[in-house]
Structure 1
Amino acid sequence: MKKIAVLILFLQLFTVQAFAQQYKYHIVKQGETTSQIAKQYNISEETLFKYNPDARRGIKPQGKLVVPINVGQDQNVKTVQQDPGDANVQFQMHRVKRQETLFSLSQQYNVSIEDIKRFNKHLYSAELRRGERIRIPKNLATVQKTEPVPSASNPLDLSVKEHLVLPQETLYGISRKYNITIADLQRLNPTLETLKPGMVLKVRNGNVEKVVEVEGNLFKYYQVQPQETLFSLTRRFGISRDSLVSLNPALADGLKSGMVLKIPNVDSAEIEEYTESATVNLENRISNYSTKNLVVMLPFNKNRIVATDSSSNAADRIKNDKVMQVSLDFYSGVLIAVDSAKARGISSKVTILDTEGNSGKVNVLLNTHNFDDVDAVIGPLLQSTVETAARGLERRNIPVVSPLTSKEAGSISNFLQTVPTDEMLANAMISYISENSAGKNLVIIADNYEKRRKLSAALPSAKVVSPGESGTISQGAMAAALDNSRPNWVILESDKIGLLSNATSYFNSRADSHKITLFTTDRNKSFESDIISNSHLGKLNFHYPSVDRAFDLVKNRSFIKKYEEKYGVTPSRFAVRGFDVTYDVLLRLASAQDLYSSINEEGTTQYVENKFDYDHRPGGGYMNKAIYILAYDRNLNLKVVQ
């Protein structure tokens, strides 16, 4: 606290003045180029871009450009002076490609992001643009550099920079851009009274309050803490990665400790709440307190870790083995579930077996371990191995719970599939549309004949728009299918990025005038492409079926806190899955005579991200039929609508 107080005191004592640099507006004439304008005012083209970042994309007649008019006379303008050693630096020119970021370039050329910005000054205030050429320093490691000496006006060397105030900018917007508070901005510019375009302010990178309420109740700001990741933040705030990146474009350069992110305030947003009327809370039905005997079979692949490996080698092997990572994450969730059940008075004995990811090893385990009195087996994870385990234990009638596979198994009476099939997901979406389509104009766009035929049969009143031979759809065809007198529900089925981008862009432009809502029965990976605009999907209130949902930070606070305290990280999707599946099995065993008796009960159980409602399969075994219908709102928050 003492150090903080001293720092604040120094900030108050050593403030700096706003620049005396003068500027003027230049009105662009017909045919003028940025190079000609720069020469007219005796400045470099790079300096012109520095004060007018948008000019890199081109200029138009009658457009206004901010131009410094005394660069050669006013020494204060030289805010980023050249390092004396920079004269010896060699450069490599790089043309920016699609999806490249400052972070990826720094990794590719083994230089820091700051060094790339230092030799490409416009990147301090502008984003990388595809096609632009930038300078990459090549020999910084061999160039002798002198230590910077803090100036008298900046004795603490707080990386003070300058910012040119542009039209319509506000103090709030500038403070947000540089991660400092408005109070800090005013302290750094004590003579500032009224903000005007063309003014140059002193700014610096700094700290803000950890969470600051802004923009009414719709958003809040969060400062990234050490060791946090994008995934952990999506879990913490219950939003998708797409939403986070869309609201914070700077994340394209990577997540850094200390960054301040804009976060949707889900608690205050107007989101339609969905309540599962048939949900059963098994925690209130615990009656069987006998010790539960579980066997968990996972492909840890311990055989791949050599006994002579050092700890670092073992860590590398785990890092590069995705199946092992999934297994460890799933197992961590299992342990939290066991602890949570114990807190409810449910004792359990859990045996962990390594299947090594192959059916032969599973058979060996079944023949060498005692499965007498086992209440349930959770796992293995892979389709072939879990079916092998189920068939091997079928005669003993021991239930085998498949936690991750979505492919329907053969006729196995003791097989419990927790993940609905793709066909079940599609049917759930079609049922939702059919049940809620009264008064709607339905439009089907599908490039797969079987899907088109299935949708048309289920929704006979729908208009069908078929892509042409080139796989594209004309805007005229899409416009003709819409009806401006009633809401339009468009079902879009394709895995081709071009078609998806074409359709979503067009419907986004008509979203408000034609009240368009977008649906799909299969949210495949093409929907996650950078070509598909997330803001378009949000504006179209995009609906799709899902096995799981993003967990609710408030409702699941106990689980999240317990997991973070135990492992020091936010739980992954597989850790949550491990918890949900295991906790459901333990509660079912504790609320009935056995697992089979429990799954025959009516209703749905629901936990952190997953829900379970089993039906007996005609061919034998049980299938989880519980499915979510999720929808984006305009702030790219995901809400459960069914």
Structure 2
Amino acid sequence: MKKLLTVLVIVLSLNLSAQNYIEHKIKEGETIESIAKKYLVTPFDIYALNPDAKTKFQANTVLIIPNSKIKNEPLNEETKELIGYKTHKVKRKETLYGLSKKYGVSEEEIKKANRFLYSENLKKGDKIRIPKFKTFVSKVSLKNTVKKYTVLPKEGKWRIAYKFGITVEELEALNPEMKPILQPGDELNVPNIEDKDEKPIDAAYDYYEVLPKEGFYRLKIKTGLTQEQLEALNPELKENGLKAGMVLKVPASSDTVSSLLDVETTKLESKINNFKVKKIALMLPYRLHRIDVDSVEEAKEEIKTNKLLSLVLDFHVGVKMALDSAKQLGISTNLKVFDTEYQPSTISQILADNDFSDYDAVIGPIQEKNFDRVASSLRGDRVPVIAALNKPKEVYANVFQSIPEDKLLQKAMIDFIKTDSLKSRVVVIADQSHRTVSEMLKKEFPSASQIYSQKDKKTGKDAHFIYPVQLENVFIPGKTIVFLETDNDAFASSAISLLNSKVTNTTEIILVTLDKNRAFDGKDVDNNNLSNLKFHYPSVRKDYDESMSNSFIKAYKEEFGVYPSKYAARGFDVTLDILLRLASEDNLYEASNEVFETKYIENKFRYTKSLYGGYINEAVYIVKYDNLRIVEANKI
């Protein structure tokens, strides 16, 4: 037996030598990820050769590391040499962080040149030395090297990570200066594997990074794909299992939004366990430089007439009241408010003068360009940036989009109608510009009848009306659901009036729409008709019930003499949700990995990580007109 073991050891050693493998003894503090990064392989490569490492990973254990993919070619390495100093007189509000960015040196390098900064803070008037360096580039041969890769059109981080068999995090580690959004022609460092070892990229597929604690059940909710389907597309799943950081291939057509209605509602107040002080930044365009704060009357007039300022102040009040509510639960917050002035230059100055790396979250800004600038700048430090009142242009990995996408609202409405146990008749009424929407609804409800607005006989343009005869013999005793799709005031009001005239004791008509726009609020639309038709529509928010006892509404009314606006309620809801999530986990990302729903005054939140970046709120209300009140609808 002993002899047999000796032979096996010799054979194994010869085999390892022939195939160019490396033996690595695990040290204290090392992880599979850190070892994989050291040898420029993936954790999955290590697990494939060391299956026991999944359950028995401990110091002094020897791992077999594959090395056959790596070529040994020299890399360019930069070194810096100190060549002198520049004197800088510190101005008001200047910080070490801002100076380091301004002069292209690190904060530590400035401190080394000015030893007193290790024990004292930077003050206005201080004269400090800023080190100047000369950079040298030399060729360095490494045991394991990388190669340069030029980004192709339509390639993102996920596709490139998949192609080279690494995680997105590993790709980012190889490229510290990588842009959040890659452009064709960008050069990246990638593992120097043979061309034949690169995984092919198919334009018919998308690529998704597996999150921590994410299992096949959660992926099924996000992608609509079963474990068997994912394994068929990604054979390595069968060998190595599902691991955080893996980049999976999924069909581009896969529906990333599953059921929007049947999700558990969670009260985070019962899950509070992190009582560290939360550090929050609020960035809003107060534009206080435009207001004469010494004139009370002028300030009051500005608040009355300036809609943006009124919105911002209402939201701010909601934020402050959320902080008070959180404090009563034992959650303390350090809030810092920044006036963005609605100017990109002001945002640049705020980012240069402040270090946000240790903030738990940043709320705002409102303007799209300013928001994208902040989110992109703070992405490297993984600081969550909350889009509270806007939909960002780019949902970076650190973005939390709190306003659901329009397609989610549409899907929620369609799914809601499909829950109708009576399988009522469906009619779609649309103007000419909404033919595509009508055809989409016809696919969802194949037996639906379609009615379109009439065209002007001379011009051929949409005349935005239907003849009463078009509704003859359409409605029979029982329930009929009517989709009305238009953004034209005249067409909406006339169609609603005609539909209301068809309601009888035996004929029930339920009016619904995928897009409740201004046309349904037109001056000629009678709210009595909308109530009679039990008008249903999807919404980001619902009106709070004034008859229900609520501490926020009560406190707001006592303070200001009126009920809170939707912006005050949103400021309260968004902020309280952030604070409760932060108090239930170590950070906002971990608090949003599991799919659960939270509800507050008017808004609810269910964050799901998108296939391509950050987190998007998928919580949608279906509301209806009920006796001239707008209430949440539970069933059709």
Regarding TM over 0.5, the answer is yes
Report the alpha carbon displacement of residue 636 of structure 1 after superposing the two structures with TM.
Answer: 3.8
Equivalent residue, structure 1, for 2:276:
290
Report the alpha carbon displacement of residue 383 of structure 1 after superposing the two structures with TM.
Answer: 2.2
Equivalent residue, structure 2, for 1:424:
408
CA deviations on 1:350-408 (whole Å, 9 max, x unpaired) are 00001111222112111111213100001112222222211111111000001011x35
Equivalent residue, structure 2, for 1:480:
473
CA deviations on 1:136-193 (whole Å, 9 max, x unpaired) are xxxxxxxxxxxxxxxxxxxxxxxxxxxxxxxxxxxxxxxxxxxxxxxxxxxxxxxxxx
Distance in 2, matches of 1:603 and 1:342, equals 24
Question: Is the CA contact 2:386–2:400 (under 8 Å) kept in the aligned structure 1?
Answer: yes
- Same amino acid, percent of matched pairs: 37
CA deviations on 1:596-615 (whole Å, 9 max, x unpaired) are 00111231000000000011
AA matched with 1:517: I
Equivalent residue, structure 2, for 1:338:
323
Report the alpha carbon displacement of residue 528 of structure 1 after superposing the two structures with TM.
Answer: 0.9
AA matched with 1:508: N
Equivalent residue, structure 2, for 1:614:
607
Query: Where do 1:361-400 residues align within 5 Å?
Result: 361-400=346-385
Equivalent residue, structure 1, for 2:481:
489
CA deviations on 1:275-326 (whole Å, 9 max, x unpaired) are 986110001110000100000111101121246x522122222322211111
Distance in 2, matches of 1:565 and 1:535, equals 32
Query: Where do 1:197-276 residues align within 5 Å?
Result: none
Equivalent residue, structure 2, for 1:518:
511
* Residues 415 and 637 of structure 1: CA distance in aligned 2, closer, same or farther (over 3 Å): closer
Equivalent residue, structure 2, for 1:544:
537
Report the alpha carbon displacement of residue 635 of structure 1 after superposing the two structures with TM.
Answer: 4.5
Structure 1 unaligned blocks of 5 or more: 1-274
Equivalent residue, structure 1, for 2:624:
631
Query: Where do 1:429-578 residues align within 5 Å?
Result: 429-436=413-420, 438-447=422-431, 448-469=434-455, 470-482=463-475, 484-512=476-504, 513-578=506-571
* Residues 411 and 331 of structure 1: CA distance in aligned 2, closer, same or farther (over 3 Å): closer
Equivalent residue, structure 2, for 1:402:
387
Distance in 1, matches of 2:515 and 2:312, equals 27
Distance in 1, matches of 2:421 and 2:389, equals 33
Question: Is the CA contact 1:535–1:636 (under 8 Å) kept in the aligned structure 2?
Answer: no
* Residues 381 and 556 of structure 1: CA distance in aligned 2, closer, same or farther (over 3 Å): farther
Equivalent residue, structure 1, for 2:332:
347
CA deviations on 1:58-102 (whole Å, 9 max, x unpaired) are xxxxxxxxxxxxxxxxxxxxxxxxxxxxxxxxxxxxxxxxxxxxx
Equivalent residue, structure 1, for 2:307:
322
CA deviations on 1:423-472 (whole Å, 9 max, x unpaired) are 22122112212332743110001111221122122222211011110221
Question: Is the CA contact 1:399–1:416 (under 8 Å) kept in the aligned structure 2?
Answer: yes
AA matched with 1:466: Y
Report the alpha carbon displacement of residue 411 of structure 1 after superposing the two structures with TM.
Answer: 4.5
* Residues 561 and 485 of structure 1: CA distance in aligned 2, closer, same or farther (over 3 Å): closer
AA matched with 1:425: L
Equivalent residue, structure 2, for 1:57:
none
* Residues 411 and 638 of structure 1: CA distance in aligned 2, closer, same or farther (over 3 Å): closer
Verify: 1:604 aligned to 2:588, yes or no. Answer: no
Query: Where do 1:11-50 residues align within 5 Å?
Result: none
SS at match of 1:515: strand
Distance in 2, matches of 1:296 and 1:290, equals 19
AA matched with 1:385: N
CA deviations on 1:212-270 (whole Å, 9 max, x unpaired) are xxxxxxxxxxxxxxxxxxxxxxxxxxxxxxxxxxxxxxxxxxxxxxxxxxxxxxxxxxx
Structure-1-length-normalised TM-score: 0.55
AA matched with 2:583: A
* Residues 408 and 433 of structure 1: CA distance in aligned 2, closer, same or farther (over 3 Å): farther
* Residues 298 and 351 of structure 1: CA distance in aligned 2, closer, same or farther (over 3 Å): same
Equivalent residue, structure 1, for 2:202:
none
Distance in 1, matches of 2:354 and 2:263, equals 42
Structure 2 unaligned blocks of 5 or more: 1-260, 456-462
Report the alpha carbon displacement of residue 640 of structure 1 after superposing the two structures with TM.
Answer: 3.1
Report the alpha carbon displacement of residue 580 of structure 1 after superposing the two structures with TM.
Answer: 0.2
Question: Is the CA contact 1:439–1:486 (under 8 Å) kept in the aligned structure 2?
Answer: no
Distance in 2, matches of 1:305 and 1:507, equals 51
Distance in 2, matches of 1:350 and 1:636, equals 37
Distance in 2, matches of 1:391 and 1:375, equals 16
Report the alpha carbon displacement of residue 525 of structure 1 after superposing the two structures with TM.
Answer: 0.8
Question: Is the CA contact 1:301–1:355 (under 8 Å) kept in the aligned structure 2?
Answer: yes
Structure-2-length-normalised TM-score: 0.55
SS at match of 1:487: strand
Equivalent residue, structure 1, for 2:85:
none
Equivalent residue, structure 2, for 1:86:
none
Question: Is the CA contact 1:491–1:520 (under 8 Å) kept in the aligned structure 2?
Answer: yes
Distance in 2, matches of 1:533 and 1:315, equals 35
Question: Is the CA contact 1:489–1:519 (under 8 Å) kept in the aligned structure 2?
Answer: yes
What's the C-alpha RMSD, in Å, of the aligned pairs?
A: 1.9
Report the alpha carbon displacement of residue 569 of structure 1 after superposing the two structures with TM.
Answer: 3.3
Question: Is the CA contact 2:280–2:336 (under 8 Å) kept in the aligned structure 1?
Answer: yes
Question: Is the CA contact 2:279–2:334 (under 8 Å) kept in the aligned structure 1?
Answer: yes
Question: Is the CA contact 1:521–1:544 (under 8 Å) kept in the aligned structure 2?
Answer: yes
Distance in 1, matches of 2:477 and 2:630, equals 28
SS at match of 1:455: helix
SS at match of 2:542: coil
AA matched with 2:273: S
Question: Is the CA contact 2:453–2:465 (under 8 Å) kept in the aligned structure 1?
Answer: yes
AA matched with 2:406: D
Question: Is the CA contact 1:434–1:458 (under 8 Å) kept in the aligned structure 2?
Answer: no
Query: Where do 1:81-100 residues align within 5 Å?
Result: none
The structure 1 segments of at least 4 consecutive aligned residues displaced by more than 6 Å after TM superposition are: none
SS at match of 1:480: coil
SS at match of 1:460: coil
Equivalent residue, structure 2, for 1:50:
none
* Residues 462 and 437 of structure 1: CA distance in aligned 2, closer, same or farther (over 3 Å): farther
SS at match of 2:478: coil
* Residues 516 and 577 of structure 1: CA distance in aligned 2, closer, same or farther (over 3 Å): same
Distance in 2, matches of 1:295 and 1:636, equals 37
AA matched with 1:431: D
AA matched with 2:481: W
SS at match of 1:629: strand
Equivalent residue, structure 1, for 2:398:
414
Distance in 1, matches of 2:264 and 2:464, equals 43
Equivalent residue, structure 2, for 1:99:
none
Question: Is the CA contact 1:511–1:517 (under 8 Å) kept in the aligned structure 2?
Answer: no
What is the total number of aligned residue pairs between the two structures?
365
Question: Is the CA contact 1:382–1:404 (under 8 Å) kept in the aligned structure 2?
Answer: no
